[in-house]
Amino acid sequence: MTDLKSQVMAALSSVIEPELHRDIVSLNMVRNLEIEGNTAKFTIVLTTPACPLKHVFVASCNKAVVGVVPGIEQLDISWDSEVPTDRNIQGRLDVPMRCIIAVASGKGGVGKSTVAINLAVALAEAGASVGLIDADILNPNIPMMAGVGNGRPRLVDQKLIPIEAYGVKLISTGFLMDPDKPLIMRGPMLHSAIRQFFMDVNWGDLDYMIVDLPPGTGDAPLSLAQSFPLTGAIIVTQPQEVALSDALRGAAMFETLNVPVLGIVENMTGDFFGEGGGERLAEQRGWEFLGSVPLDAEVRKGGDYGRPVVADKPDTPAGAAFQALAERIAARASVVMLQAAETPSVSVVG
């Protein structure tokens, strides 16, 4: 039996993970292999619960094993997931987070917060534990978009308890301020607020922390990138040229700060704003194009009424687009984290 299990594992070592380009055995994705009669039973542990490639793994595993390993006529595959931990987070944050993704834009009005809330909700619906920091400290929109504008976090053991909506843990100055009064802060105060949102909130154990940044390249994005170990940033743009030039500056800032650009998202695609600009920008600069979201009234309604379209109208084109985006972003983050884990660390002095 042990010899048969070895043969099955050897056969499975020919199955390549499409994103990571390595075999699933060396990646330790095959667990708990047992042989029962003519059936090989095992678990495939994915790097994200949002993985869209289960059918690919099933087909590849069957091709590699069934009819190839003598005596094995069928497979019984179970699924699990373990989001890898960004090694840059280990030792730098006393908070159990495996992956921190910034959602940024070069200019306002491109739907960055819409992308952030729908990304977080889609990941949560896939089974991940997700937090969302509304780091647009002066102009917070996430509470309204999540339908919890009247939420007020409790303080327990000197830690704020985040508000939960759609399976996502949320924190925002929108929960802490009078909605009718402006919030005025200088740069050091912004930095302090963002740091408190990371360190003084009881997040629990998170697979993904999504950070919705204010637009541009000002104090908040700089403070975040310089103070916290970001796994990567996604840049949200519209298709037209004026938005693309701003998106380019935003992405270039993260590259300057040695934060990986996970890719470009083109929002509000359609006749009104055009299409294809985000993909052209990504191709020109060698960045990943993560996908586009169509201009759709359901997205606007979802934001206004606190019902993210990926949860409220998942079968609409926009809902499906956000679901696909979440899958691609999670896959890109896994690739970046595993590549970093295999790269020797370099100590920086100064």
Architecture of domain 2-81: 2-Layer Sandwich (3.30)
State yes or no: pLDDT of 346 exceeds 60.
no
344 pLDDT more than 60: no
pLDDT tens by residue, 221-255: 777 777 788 999 999 999 887 788 888 888 888 88
DSSP 97: B
pLDDT at 91: 66
- Does 345 have pLDDT greater than 70? no
pLDDT reported for residue 261: 94
Distant-in-sequence contacts of 344-347, Cβ < 8 A, 24+ apart: 345/87
Average pLDDT over residues 83-107: 85
Q: For residue 165, give the 3-state DSSP assignment.
A: strand
Mean pLDDT of all residues belonging to the chain: 89
Domain locations in the chain as residue ranges: 2-81, 100-341
* Residue 180 in this model has a pLDDT that exceeds 70: no
Residue 185 has pLDDT above 60, yes or no: no
What percentage of the chain carries pLDDT values higher than 90?
64
Alpha helices in the chain (DSSP H): 2-12, 54-65, 112-125, 142-145, 187-199, 219-227, 241-256, 277-285, 297-305, 309-312, 317-341
**Angstrom distance (rounded) from CA 86 to CA 145:** 29
84 Rama sector, left if φ>0, alpha if ψ -120 to 50, beta otherwise = beta
Q: How many CB atoms lie within 10 A of CB 88?
A: 19
Query: Average pLDDT for residues 90-116, to the nearest whole number?
Result: 87
The answer to whether the beta carbons of residues 211 and 259 sit under 8 Å apart is no
The DSSP-derived string for 34-89 is: EEETTEEEEEEEES-TT-S-HHHHHHHHHHHHTTTSTT--EEEEEEEE-PPPPTTT
Q: Of 340, 286, 343, 311, give the one whose Cα is nearest residue 122.
A: 311
CATH of 100-341, one of 1.20.58.480, 3.40.50.800, 3.40.50.300, 2.60.40.10: 3.40.50.300
